[in-house]
Chain A
């Protein structure tokens, strides 16, 4: 049963047809039931009336002195006239129990035992295994009784014939209706097939929108939604192609530089010459390996599930771990790393957040210049609705012009005129990872109103207000939140 309930044809047309036909059959069955009852009542009423009329006429046409007759047969119909099935049978009985008059097909015994107590009446009777409907009427003095009867079997056969014809008629009509409905449904569904065929004929990477101006109202939202997805795919594919082209260019350039520098080392004739050529070779290698790392990060971010699997992790530990990696390079550039944290537990994806932090610090290290101070902050900050964890990296280097700050999160965008050559991937990674974490990214001023700073606020995860923690040092919230952010991405 449950199997039956769950069964649904895959074809919408078939489903529609089945539902329509089911409704029609149900309505018709209800109508037939009602009609049958009506018909049966009507038939009974009609025949009862006829039997009453005939019974009374017979009674009235009998001469008053009629006497019982002995059995000597009836008249016969001429052979050319067939007996009518709907003829009524009757008997006229004398009070003394003998028959006065009797139709040919009437039984010998009275249908109903003679009783003169009641003037007339309609009853069902059974005689010799045959069922009858009988009308009995007595004359005023109670001398004779007329019984008029109609065979129940004939009545039933008549009714069955009517029912039979009705069922057949309805069956043929329903079949006709079904065929017409099927054609209509198929005709209505033609736009669906048109769309399907149009999509089927497409080449694999054809992402143009499906034309929808001629489509019916019901199909349009579906095709519109489909077109929207196609447009998104198209955008993503374009971005990937652009990225691939850009990345190829970005990788080939430093490789070409490396080859050229290596040749110079090879061709150097003095030690001084070869050492002079090695320095740019080394920095070229560093640039290429950094770029490779970022491209790999970017690719693995593209391939990672969305949203990333987030588990509660200690953000301050992660910050201190990543900062530790920059210890040596910072020392080489005479930069100071200031790590200012408080315990912050947050549901994050540790790996992508590591990439985010690494890129932020790398950026500050690269553009902060020699001797810069770079502050890495992991603290709770106030938001419009309460408190959230914020991760900030700020420096006191030359900074980024206010007009450029909005664009630095675009992939392969470089601030014009910067001395240190970056790939333009780092901050776009930062923006994407922040977005994955439901965090906002703000670019603003750096330390003491100089330099450049980026603040990532994890506003999707509200935290409790910080309790006073004597050991974690002064809370530089004023610094963190002051300085009008000039660009915001989410």
Chain B
């Protein structure tokens, strides 16, 4: 599986690359923004590890450029900017996850696996259930033709439900879709996101199947 590592610090990029290669990935390294843009237009990478502070442009601009082309390559941001607002900006720009330096190699591997798993089986045509449409390529959701603003977590929950429209999706499946599974987190947050989605998209859209999970659309 081929990855692109965009990182300008040679010591860090060498270490990360070695670590990833040990995990069985093939890693290309770009050390500035133009090189990253070039590499991203030429290759189909399985995922991109992106630093935000780059010579020759910001990583966020690179990311926006990728998403503007409807390129859904999973992007994991690796950055020293640890402010939550920076992270929210990164996720809003289309990143799949955000990891703050210094990070442990184990952490990076786990996040990378989760991002790849989430991306796997993602369908690119526009999904439609009743009056709600979801465009995975553009990460855009509309209700009756009008755009709906969703948080990253809400979006992931809705995507997981719409990908399996008509079938029951368990809480565990939804949690995996939101957090990448294999997690130490046990939470009711999926219910919270479902609650928020119902509030934004209509109460009747998502049905609760007691004892099992949730379902979107008519049962098949």
A-side residues, CB < 8 A to B, are 286, 289, 293, 314, 316-318, 320-332, 335-343, 350-351, 353-354, 469-473
Given contacts A326-B184, A341-B187, A341-B189, 10 further A-B contacts (CB under 8 A): A318-B84, A320-B187, A321-B153, A325-B100, A336-B186, A337-B184, A339-B189, A340-B188, A343-B199, A472-B188
The residue among B179, B184, B187 with the most chain A CB atoms within 10 A of its own CB is B184
The answer to whether B195 touches A324 (Cβ under 8 A) is: no
Q: Given A328-B110, A341-B189, A473-B191: A336 and B196 within 8 A (CB)? A: no
The answer to whether B84 touches A321 (Cβ under 8 A) is: yes
The answer to whether A354 touches B84 (Cβ under 8 A) is: yes
Query: Which residues of B151-168 have CB atoms within 8 Å of chain A's CB atoms?
Result: 151, 153
The residue among B83, B185, B191, B208 with the most chain A CB atoms within 10 A of its own CB is B185
B23 at the interface (CB under 8 A from A): no
Q: Given A320-B153, A335-B184, A351-B85: A341 and B106 within 8 A (CB)? A: no
- Binary per-residue interface labels of chain B (180-194) against chain A in the complex, 1 for a CB within 8 Å, 0 otherwise: 001111111101101
Q: Nearest Cβ in chain B — how far from A380, in angstroms?
A: 13
15 CB-based A-B contacts, threshold 8 Å? A317-B153, A320-B153, A320-B187, A323-B187, A326-B184, A329-B107, A330-B184, A332-B106, A339-B188, A340-B188, A343-B192, A350-B85, A353-B84, A470-B208, A472-B192
The answer to whether B192 touches A337 (Cβ under 8 A) is: no
Query: Which residues of B173-220 have CB atoms within 8 Å of chain A's CB atoms?
Result: 179, 182-189, 191-192, 194-196, 199, 208
Which A residues touch B185, using CB under 8 A?
323-324, 327, 330, 337-339
A325's nearest neighbour on chain B, judged by CB, is: B100
Question: How many angstroms between the C-alpha atoms of A483 and B189 in the bound complex?
Answer: 25
- Binary per-residue interface labels of chain B (76-92) against chain A in the complex, 1 for a CB within 8 Å, 0 otherwise: 00000011110110000
Question: How many angstroms between the C-alpha atoms of A328 and B185 in the bound complex?
Answer: 10
Which A residues touch B182, using CB under 8 A?
331
The answer to whether A351 touches B83 (Cβ under 8 A) is: yes
Majority secondary structure, A binding face? helix
Question: How many angstroms between the C-alpha atoms of A323 and B188 in the bound complex?
Answer: 13
Q: Nearest Cβ in chain B — how far from A358, in angstroms?
A: 9
Which A residues touch B107, using CB under 8 A?
328-329
Number of contact residues on B: which range applies? 20 to 34
Q: Nearest Cβ in chain A — how far from B171, in angstroms?
A: 10
Total of A-B residue pairs, C-beta within 8 Å: 92
Which B residues touch A331, using CB under 8 A?
110, 182-184
The answer to whether B179 touches A316 (Cβ under 8 A) is: no
Question: How many angstroms between the C-alpha atoms of A327 and B107 in the bound complex?
Answer: 9
The answer to whether B187 touches A354 (Cβ under 8 A) is: no
Which B residues touch A289, using CB under 8 A?
102
Which A residues touch B188, using CB under 8 A?
339-341, 472-473
Question: How many angstroms between the C-alpha atoms of A354 and B87 in the bound complex?
Answer: 11
Question: How many angstroms between the C-alpha atoms of A327 and B185 in the bound complex?
Answer: 6
Which A residues touch B195, using CB under 8 A?
342-343, 469, 471-472
Q: Nearest Cβ in chain B — how far from A228, in angstroms?
A: 34
Which B residues touch A340, using CB under 8 A?
187-188
Question: How many angstroms between the C-alpha atoms of A338 and B175 in the bound complex?
Answer: 13
Q: Nearest Cβ in chain A — how far from B149, in angstroms?
A: 11
Q: Nearest Cβ in chain A — how far from B129, in angstroms?
A: 19
The answer to whether B186 touches A338 (Cβ under 8 A) is: yes
The answer to whether B82 touches A293 (Cβ under 8 A) is: yes
Which A residues touch B191, using CB under 8 A?
471-473
Which A residues touch B110, using CB under 8 A?
327-328, 331
Which A residues touch B100, using CB under 8 A?
325
A292's nearest neighbour on chain B, judged by CB, is: B102
Which B residues touch A314, using CB under 8 A?
151
The answer to whether B194 touches A471 (Cβ under 8 A) is: yes
Which A residues touch B151, using CB under 8 A?
314, 317
Which A residues touch B82, using CB under 8 A?
293
The answer to whether A339 touches B84 (Cβ under 8 A) is: no
A339's nearest neighbour on chain B, judged by CB, is: B187
Question: How many angstroms between the C-alpha atoms of A318 and B83 in the bound complex?
Answer: 12
Question: How many angstroms between the C-alpha atoms of A322 and B189 in the bound complex?
Answer: 13
Of the candidates A286, A327, A342, A471, which one forms a contact with B208 in the assembled complex, judged by CB atoms under 8 Å apart?
A471
Which B residues touch A342, using CB under 8 A?
192, 195
